Amino acid sequence: MNQFEKLTIKSTIQHLKCKDFSCKELTEYFIKKISDNRKLNCFITETPDHALEMALNSDKKIDNNEIRAMEGIPIAMKDLFCTKNVKTTAASKILENFIPFYESTVSKKLWDSGSVMLGKSNLDEFAMGSANTTSFFGNVINPIKGKNNSDLVPGGSSGGSAAAVAAGLCLGATGSDTGGSIRQPASFCGIVGMKPTYGRCSRFGMVAFASSLDQAGTLTKNVDDSAIMLQTICGYDEKDSTSSKMDVPKFSEYEKLSLKGKKIGIPKEYLVDGLNSEIKKSWENFSEEFKKIGVEIIDISLPHTKYSLPTYYIIAPAEASANLARYDGVRYGYRHQNVDNLDDLYEISRSKGFGDEVKRRIMIGTYVLSAGYYDAYYIKALKVRRLILDDFIKAFKKCDLILTPTTPNVSFLIGEKQDDPLEMYLNDVLTVPASLAGLPAISVPAGKNKDGLPFGLQIISSHFNEALVFKAAKFIEDTNK
């Protein structure tokens, strides 16, 4: 076995400090592994030369004892974060050749901490999808195989990031979560996916999908790595008006917290139709395991949960419709040639530049924002969103954490649900509520089904309570070993 195969972010930091190997050697290993696993299609753009340059700089920092928080750690950057002088496509034809002249805040924080960029990871186009099958650059394949060695979806939209971590092509990856796009692929790929409180991470330089929901987060092999990486990307940013000024605690010190005497709520509304029996059994088993360490398990109700999905699929497309209006073929992005007038330029550039799922959501969003429907749909959805948040606020007066499944089912065959958008949207039924409420939520591996396919449990807490989320997630991780 190669010495690098079992590495985590936490262990690698120690090895690099002790100079057991160099950042350059480590980076070369991952560059080769990515090259050997291109069939998974995890990356839209590989950046090996850039990665080696960053690795050599990290080696110099280590030699000079100027070690930063993520020094020399090779990561994948979801191709939704603008990277200066490196192509950023959002997996769309319309941005196929877009090269930003500026850096997103999240990526800048990672580079400033010493991280090494191996490349830009694949995703659903403009983060719209839950299977990573809507990318203009082709679907990502889950490194975990199904029956008869069949190809499965990695989940979405951060499927390239999740698959890359699960396949060992990087030590960690960034993701973005609008309605479950970090947690759902983490569950499908058997890794840890963390969505922090809305506002914890700056959205500056993130290609926007739904601005009131989009939040950056992390995909890692384990909980410790998640805490280390999340620490790096959080913090106030004056470039983002929705960025929080709340102090960022040292997440890696979550171990100092105690779960004894804490209360975990089990919401009856998450016992949805079609919930996989093995996932349900795991949910029940871990409730019992928490009891053994002095946690009180209580039943709670989140009565407006049933309205979460329809609420989300009004608000998110409405915001997408407004955000994606900027792609008109004029200033940047795909521009259709040989048109006679401005209307044709707009229409043809957008119809050819956007994929089917993106166009579907733009049309839904434009419809719900149109005259005569704005009050009936969009304003009503905002009111229901507030009720969903109020449910959580009331629940957290009774409990400290909420435990639920991450997804109703395990991963499925590529193309299996492609012709039924509604069935595809149901993948997010258990992750959307926390997104609408802006709450921190994590998916942590909790077991495998009879066919060996992984699934996760989700832990949700009140705003800015990520450390306690990590503590509970670590307990599940340790118990699941």
- List pLDDT tens digits, range 172-205: 999 999 999 999 999 999 999 999 999 999 999 9
Is 181 assigned a catalytic role? yes
Asked if residue 44 is part of any domain, the answer here is yes
75 with 158, same domain? yes
Number of domains comprising the chain: 2
pTM for the full predicted model: 0.96
Residue 309 maps to a domain: no
- Does any domain span residue 102? yes
Catalytic-role residue among 107, 157, 308, 349: 157
**Residue 279's domain is classified under what CATH number?**
3.40.190
Residue 193 lies in a domain: yes
The whole-number pLDDT of residue 1 equals 57
| Res 232 pLDDT > 70 | yes
Average pLDDT, the chain: 96
Catalytic residue selected from 181, 187, 461, 462:
181
Per DSSP bridges, beta strands 263-267 and 296-300 are parallel
User: Does residue 334 fall inside a structural domain?
Assistant: no
Q: Are 81 and 111 in contact (CB under 8 A)?
A: no
Q: Exposed, middle or buried by CB within 10 Å (0-12, 13-18, 19+), for 263?
A: middle
The pLDDT value recorded for residue 424 is 73
CA 312/CA 430 separation, integer angstroms = 12
Lowest mean pLDDT across 71-75, 77-81, 95-99, 417-421? 417-421
144 & 47 share domain? yes
Residue 18 belongs to a domain: yes
Q: Is the pLDDT of residue 472 over 90?
A: yes
Domain range enclosing 160: 13-254
User: How sure is the predictor about 418, in pLDDT bands with cuts at 50, 70 and 90?
Assistant: low
> Which pLDDT tens digit goes with each residue over 263-318?
999 999 999 988 999 999 999 999 999 999 999 999 999 999 999 999 999 999 99
Give the C-alpha separation, 251 to 241, whole Å.
24
Catalytic residue among 10, 24, 33, 78: 78
pLDDT digits (tens, 9 = 90+) for 358-377: 999 999 999 999 988 999 99
Task: Establish if 356 belongs to a structural domain.
Answer: no
For residues 12-23, one letter each, b for 16 or more C-beta atoms within 10 angstroms of the residue's C-beta and e for the rest, the string is: bbeebeeeebbb
CATH number of the domain at 83, please: 3.90.1300.10
| Interatomic CA distance for residues 251 and 466, integer angstroms | 7
